[in-house]
Amino acid sequence: MAAIGSRSKDPYRLFPVTRLTTRENYLPGTPDLKLTLHQVCTCDHTQKSIVSVTETPLQSLRSTLKWYHKEFKAEILMDAYSGLIRDQCIILALNSSFVDPLMQFETQLKIIELSFQTIFSLPNLNIVKSMGKNPEDTEDLKNLYENIFNIYEDNLLILVSKDFYKIQILKEMTMWMNQNNQYLKERAMLVITRVLMFASKRAKKYPSIDAPCLGVLAAELSLLCAHEDPLITQRALSSMNYVLYIAMCQNSGAKKHKSIRPSDGETNNPRVTTSDFELLSKATQGGRSKIAQNVGQILLPNLLTDFVFTLLKKLSSSDTDIVCEAASLLKLTLDYHAQKITMVSKIVDDIYEQLSVDSSHAMKAVFLRVISLLTKASPKKVIFQLLEFPVPADDALLLMWQAVSTESSVAFQVLKTILSVLKGKPGEVEGTLVERRRFSLDATNMMPVAASQALCTFLPVNSYRKVVAKLFPEFLMALMLQLFYCSQLLKDTGQDRPLYVRDGLKVLLNCSGLKEVDEALEKKNFWDQFSQVMDHQYGIHLIAKTLSECNFPQFPETLHYVYKIAIKDPRRSEDTIVTIIFFAELLNNFFKESLPEEFLTPFRNWINDSNPSVGKMSLQKIASMAPVFSEIENVSNLLLPVLDAFLSKEHTVIIRAMLTLRNILSKLDKTNYSTVCTKIASSYCPLMDHVNGGVQCMAIRHFGELLRDMSEYKWMLNHIILGSLVPLILFLESTETRIMNACRYTLTMCFSQFKWSTKYLLQEDNFDFELLVLSICNNLLSSYERYIIDLISDTLGFLGSSRAFLKKGSIILVGYLGKSGEHLLLKEEIDVMIEVVERATREEDPVIKMLAAKTHKLFKDIAYRIASSTIKQTLRRWAKVFHTKKLKPIYDLANSIGLMEYTAEEVIEMKAKESLYELTATSSRLQKKEFFVD
């Protein structure tokens, strides 16, 4: 029995005979514990040789092993042995249970860890042998000692064979080994190597099985490959072979290496039994450089990331040798394979934490080298992560920015990334911010501010200075956007923030050969004003003007770039405002006599922007460039969008559009003017009754000015003038003096156009609304009779107004128009007019009520006289053509209003006298034959 538990001498046996328990044989808490011995599978994975021997209870174990007749002094070995048997039973029971897999694994891991602490704390083999009193005793102790480690190894094999995921227990073992210098590290490495050899065979047979811990395990083993103990180094190298082989099985894209059998010395005689079992022998030849190359080549990106992150954590270890080895491996791996790292932001974040805690960290140079290597491979990821750290940058972050700037090969990508961030709006609330992001303002985006500060680090570097020359226009515009945003941010938050935008702009100018511009802005006190709440529009204007005054050499590419972004749809209206100011200033300074027509395209598009500020800004800049518009061949392409702005809901935009239009028209020659005057005049008409008094007044007056300008082309505008008469007449009674005066001015232009002798009635001394209306209607009746029906329709629209003067005026006007055009009206049209006027008779205002009653009676009389027959009515119209007479006052408004001051009896008496007077006058006319029958 002395040989029980010893390794088989058969060279083709993979595992020795070991003691295992089954779930059926294990009864916790009972003294009778039956043990089963069996032999684990051979290395061909197809045959199992199981030998079962039923033993007496544990108390008789010594007699069974022929140790009962000896004085046993090594109870520690027996305790370890029995503990392993017990643990094995629990492991098997859990494997066969329905316990949650995660809980099952955690329990088994805890059991394995406790066993590890017990087993690998045993004395070494030499001490155990010294306990024996004779050769036979020594042999038994040796066998028991070996069997203890074999059972521990079998426990691991049971777990890995059941679930390959549990190979990560080996990862934990590599870390347990370093917790106590008294642990038997050589033995532990031997167990790890054997289990990995078994796992590699399973990986070859089942390449789809998951082994998520390979990256961490490879990192731990790679550090052990430089151990001072040669035996540990050899076993670590062999273990690395198996780990890489498993990774290769899972990574079909990895390069295959030639197979080689590990020597007996490397693996302590674990024999490879299949000729197709490939080991990566070259991966461990040539030291850490070869390891780094092959690890990066074979491991999948996520596993390689784990490898790198594990080494990074080792830099904070108290063991100097481990720190140095980890640093070397880390730099080599990133040198070869940094582009495969997937969690760059996490690594950058971890480095920042390390440097923030201790800026004098011994491995500071290594940390910064890692940053530079990651930047070389993934510049965007590194830059975006660095820009997420707090603003302003602290010493740790500045060190990391400097590390980034050392990689000249990616200067262009770095600056392009920063440029993309600079186009963002600081202080803007992000809808998808995760909790871990840290900003100066809670839940707001401060990356553009950080990017401005970063520029102050990058641009002075020679390699970056060369690149920024190609990106000058983009950086200039981006920083001016930040100038705009920063001004707003300072104003809104009231906080005193470092002015990195100002500093970044200064650095850009100086690094681009524009020191003269910087000095000019200094003389204009621009940089000092920036520290205050400066008008952002003024600041941008001043920069553009100063650049123009200094004839900066980058003008052609700057103008081209600004034009390109101007014709594209901007992300924000603020961006457009900045572009408008800068673009217009460049054009004003470099195109004083003529202007390429294509440069007007963006201004034309901006006029009707959804943001009123953008529309007004564009209209203002168009007006300032009016002197060069006469050089444009097709000026209507610019004027039509200006006229479209008349339809804006924002009255300030409409006013600005009208001012811009007048500015342009004043500079146009008459020929070009005449081609657009009809369209312009038509655009004024809808604004003549606008709800905003400023818009209405300006529209009426500008219409009159257009008539004055186009006096030579009056035949083109007659129909538009006639169509605008109704609001011009009605608003003569406006309560706003400015509107009343504008109407008088424009009607004077209209009467001059038609050569009507009516304008004297517009004079303040002679003004009488009813007489003016009477005169206009008489002129219409004689010259423009066909427009009367349309004018009646327009007037009826004002009867529903809530303003008294409009109701009153429209009743009078519609009465005279109806009277003058009664021969043109159809029965149905009269009925509509009667219905509309009848509603006005129910008004509370006595004057309006009285006027409406008169008009209602007038239309009733007209309706009564209209023939029902269409033929008769047509004949009547023809008769009227040749028998038209001038209208007479209908309302006698002054007298009618005056009557309201008398009693009813007095009014009746006065009316009777008027009737008598009219009868006398009629009789006189009959005698003179001057009466015409209607």
**Is the pLDDT confidence value at 121 over 90?**
no
Higher pLDDT, 913 or 792: 792
Higher pLDDT, 746 or 885: 746
Average pLDDT over every residue of 283-294: 74
User: Tokens 């643990």 belong to which residue?
Assistant: 87
Q: What is the pLDDT of residue 201?
A: 86
Q: What is the pLDDT of residue 281?
A: 55
Q: What is the pLDDT of residue 57?
A: 41
Tell me the pLDDT of the chain averaged across its residues: 77
Average pLDDT over every residue of 833-842: 89
DSSP state letter for 110: H
- Whole-angstrom Cα distance, residue 448 to residue 723? 56
Quick one: three-class SS letters along 482-541? HHHHHHHHHHHHCCCCCCHHHHHHHHHHHHCCCHHHHHHHHHCCHHHHHCCCCCHHHHHH
**Is the pLDDT confidence value at 35 over 50?**
no
**Is the pLDDT confidence value at 265 over 70?**
no
**Is the pLDDT confidence value at 374 over 70?**
yes
Q: What length does the chain have?
A: 934
Higher pLDDT, 179 or 932: 179
533-572 pLDDT per residue, tens: 556 778 888 898 999 889 899 999 999 999 998 888 666 7
Q: What is the pLDDT of residue 605?
A: 84
> Where does the pLDDT of residue 928 fall: very low under 50, low under 70, confident under 90, or very high at 90 and above?
very low
Residues 6 or more apart whose Cβ sits within 8 Å of residue 133: 70
**Is the pLDDT confidence value at 394 over 50?**
yes
Higher pLDDT, 62 or 426: 426
Average pLDDT over every residue of 646-650: 91
**Is the pLDDT confidence value at 69 over 60?**
no
**Is the pLDDT confidence value at 47 over 80?**
no
Q: What is the pLDDT of residue 429?
A: 52
**Is the pLDDT confidence value at 137 over 50?**
yes
Residue among 178, 180, 210, 214 at smallest CA distance from 196: 214
**Is the pLDDT confidence value at 413 over 90?**
yes
Q: What is the pLDDT of residue 485?
A: 77
What phi, psi does 429 have (nearest 5°)?
A: -75, 130
Q: What is the pLDDT of residue 686?
A: 93
DSSP state letter for 183: S
Most confident of 62-76, 252-266, 531-545, 768-782: 768-782
**Is the pLDDT confidence value at 106 over 60?**
yes
697-754 pLDDT per residue, tens: 999 999 999 999 998 887 889 999 999 999 999 999 999 999 999 999 999 999 988 8
Residues 6 or more apart whose Cβ sits within 8 Å of residue 316: 323, 354, 363
494-514 pLDDT per residue, tens: 454 557 888 899 999 999 999
**Is the pLDDT confidence value at 451 over 50?**
yes
- Whole-angstrom Cα distance, residue 762 to residue 744? 6
**Is the pLDDT confidence value at 435 over 60?**
no
Average pLDDT over every residue of 903-921: 47
Which of 84-88, 333-337, 625-629 shows the lowest per-residue confidence on average (mean pLDDT)?
A: 625-629
Higher pLDDT, 888 or 676: 676
653-698 pLDDT per residue, tens: 999 999 999 988 888 888 888 888 999 999 999 999 999 999 999 9
